[in-house]
Amino acid sequence: MSGTKMRNIGPKSAAWLRQVGLRTHEDVAAIGTVEAFMRVKRAGFKPTLNLLYAIEGALLDCHWQEIPDERRQELILAAEAATALLPAPRNKPAAAPVRTTVHNEDRHEDGGFGGFGGFGAGREEGGHGGDGDGAGDERAGDERDDDGAAGDNGRDEGGRHD
């Protein structure tokens, strides 16, 4: 809150209260615990019951965990009653249950991912190694360069080797 820090109110809660116009202990005391909580809730923030207890503790100048259970229940009932009077959120569908979908990677027997082999892919036993494209044999006149393009076997235009 602006000049002095209220007991039990951390930086996030203080920012929420400031944003709804409650800047001092007196501002909060004038409207009460439940109304201060509801202003934060109506502003679109998602306060938990801990904020409700923290505000009450700040007004009573005690730690929020020292609030008696009977008073906590009174605060909860009052907050629930006030929440029931809130209009439904606009332009938002009602919340549905959340489902988590886990996609497993498609692994092949050779340990590669997604259809690409690991080191030595495209090699056949006893054959020549390809460039990883699965073409494990070398054809005369159609050798491939490192980039997989058809090469000229290292010959210049006259057919001579380099």
For the chain, 162 residues long, give each residue's pLDDT as a single digit of tens.
Answer: 455 789 999 999 999 999 999 999 999 999 999 999 999 999 999 999 999 999 999 999 999 999 999 999 999 999 999 999 988 767 766 566 767 777 777 655 555 445 444 444 444 444 444 444 544 444 444 555 555 555 555 555 555 555
Tens of pLDDT, residues 100-131: 777 777 655 555 445 444 444 444 444 444 44
Beta-bridge partner residues of 144: 150
Cα separation, 11 vs 54, whole angstroms: 12
Long-range Cβ contacts of 37-41 (<8 Å, 24+ apart) = 37/79, 38/79, 38/82, 38/83, 40/16, 41/83, 41/86
Distance from C-alpha of 68 to C-alpha of 107, rounded to nearest angstrom: 57
Q: How far apart are CA 56 and CA 7, in angstroms?
A: 10
Q: What is the DSSP string of 96-152?
A: -------PPP-B-TTS-BTTB--TTTT--TTS---SSSS--S--TT--B-TTSSB--
